[in-house]
Chain A
Amino acid sequence: MDEQIITKTLPDHNPETLVEVKDVSMRFRLPTQKIDNVKEFFIKFVKRQLKYKDFWVLKHISFHVNRGESVGILGRNGAGKSTLLKLISGIIDPTEGSIHVRGSIVPLLKLGAGFDGNATGRENIFLNGAMLGFSKKEMQAKYDSIVKFAELEEFMDVPLKNYSQGMIARLGFSIAVDVKPDLLIVDEVLGVGDAAFRDKCAKKIAEMQQAGTTLLLVSHSASQVQALCKSALWIKNGEIAMYADAATVSNAYAADCKKNP
């Protein structure tokens, strides 16, 4: 049954393909001035002054990632990296083209999205777990390993507003990676925490890769991309500039950054 559904959506499917991005374009409509009240809207509407500027963040992106592969995504600020990750995560839909992901996804686009500053660390673990869809019982089973990984045993009864940024990030990361997804999507969230915790995170991700998790990683650190990913994708002005092995791409990207600062 399952096979049939997939052949229908993807005629030339390869069983090893986990992520299939096909000719994806994404358009944002930027109003030339922001209108957020009714009066202005009607005035502009009647005067036919509602002007939009079309901005194509991504243009005709096509690539695929195989099961178990890891891909780093490089690119300048505003090149469309985060938009691409949001599209693959299924948070937003592309304007054109199609995206297929066959498997469970854990997007790590922001650590601790939905954390509640007034609640304690313990309550936030359950709350954040619930945001990922886990019941209280399921989280109870994970609780100890999460706290242990975050190394925050002493702070579990402290309200989150008294945590430091690094501690919040550590807690967020620990909750998010305590699952075994088919696809882990990481957006520049590893740059937080102290060096020791960063190493721990990298090690955890490597461990998940070993267990068969596919990784999509946005990072500005070429060394991190090379350490964690076999191949890399370089996005330049919304288009794929290069998709090859990690070392080649990060070298080309570094050279380009130097050339056009």
Chain B
Amino acid sequence: MQKKYYEEMSGKEKLRRSMNTLVSIVNRNVRNQYRNSVLGIVWTVLNPLLNMVVIALVFSMILNRNQMDGLFYPVYILSGNIVFGLMRNSTSGALPCMVNNYDLLSKTRLVHEIFPISNVLSAVVNFFFSMIALFVVMLFFLNKPGVGFHFTILLTIAPFLPLLMLFSLGVSFILSTIYIRFRDIQHIYSVVLTLWMYLTPLFYSLDMIKGHQTATSILKLNPMYHYVTYFRTILMGSIPSLAEHLIMLAWGAGTCLVGFLFFHFSKKKFLLYI
């Protein structure tokens, strides 16, 4: 006769199971993007690469510049775009995730947080594929100004990526919660994203609007400005200041905390409103 009773699974077992679920959902998300295509997994690198080439070509022609902030212009654009893209992909993917997975939420005992987290992780996987594309471009233009492979690029793994992930996750938590009650947020957010993209120096630089004091200070309030600039700095081989690290940490941890609390306290009502 077994004489051991337990309330529930142990916390460790629960975590292990949630991790299994998470890995599998991310795997499915990444695979589903290019299912039934001839090139399959190759698209994960090819798609960002081709997109980058188009953007770089167009903006190089319009602005007619060879370099910006000391970095070869196409690489300047590409590096900004993949950082912004990570945030954009995770948040706009996570926005409808609670509603889309209603079946799983209402019929199984999954931890709710899994869905926003899986979207952020899927975007991170895509980010790494985009990094490959970026490296291909950089190899091609090794003799151009500012282009080179420096050991500082390793700072991408930490602290850069974890902090950007925290920030994206926080935004995802908030958006996916709001979407349950107000479907309007989808349309509002797509406009916000466009505005946000132009408020982030992706294809221009802060130097270009140096005379404009208010504009500069507004841009510096944008967290994505700091993430994008940080990434470019380590790409060019220097280590950003401590202040930059702290700003990124504050945005990442702060947003994630606020988002998590918002998500957590709305969680109980989720199923009643979807």
Interface residues of B, Cβ cutoff 8 Å to A: 3-9, 16-18, 20-21, 23-25, 28, 31-32, 35-36, 101, 103-110, 181-185, 268, 271-272
Contact = CB atoms under 8 A, between A and B. Distances in A.
A133 B21 CA distance: 5
A32 interface: no
Interface residues of A, number: 43
18 contacts: A6-B5, A28-B272, A36-B182, A36-B183, A38-B185, A89-B109, A91-B108, A93-B268, A102-B6, A103-B5, A107-B109, A114-B108, A119-B31, A119-B35, A127-B24, A131-B108, A132-B17, A134-B17
A95 to B, nearest CB: 10
Given A38-B184, A130-B24, A133-B18, A100 B7 contact: yes
Contact of A113 (B16, B23, B103, B271): B103
A36 B110 contact: no
A260 interface: no
Residue of B101, B182, B183 with highest tally of chain A CB at under 10 A: B182
A91 B109 contact: yes
A50 to B, nearest CB: 12
A89 B107 CA distance: 9
Contacts of B183: 36-37
Given A37-B183, A133-B20, A118 B32 contact: yes
Contact of A131 (B3, B7, B24): B24
A156 to B, nearest CB: 17
Interface string A125-166: 011001111111000000000000000000000000000000
A102 B2 CA distance: 13
Interface of A: 2-3, 5-6, 9, 15, 28-29, 36-39, 41, 86, 89-93, 100-105, 107, 109-110, 113-114, 116, 118-119, 123, 126-127, 130-136
B273 to A, nearest CB: 8
Given A41-B182, A91-B106, A102 B21 contact: no
Contacts of B3: 15
A214 B4 CA distance: 16
A104 B14 CA distance: 11
Contacts of B21: 130-131, 133
Given A109-B107, A110-B103, 19 more contacts: A2-B5, A6-B5, A9-B7, A37-B183, A38-B184, A91-B106, A92-B268, A102-B6, A114-B104, A118-B32, A118-B36, A127-B24, A127-B25, A131-B104, A132-B17, A132-B108, A133-B17, A133-B20, A133-B21
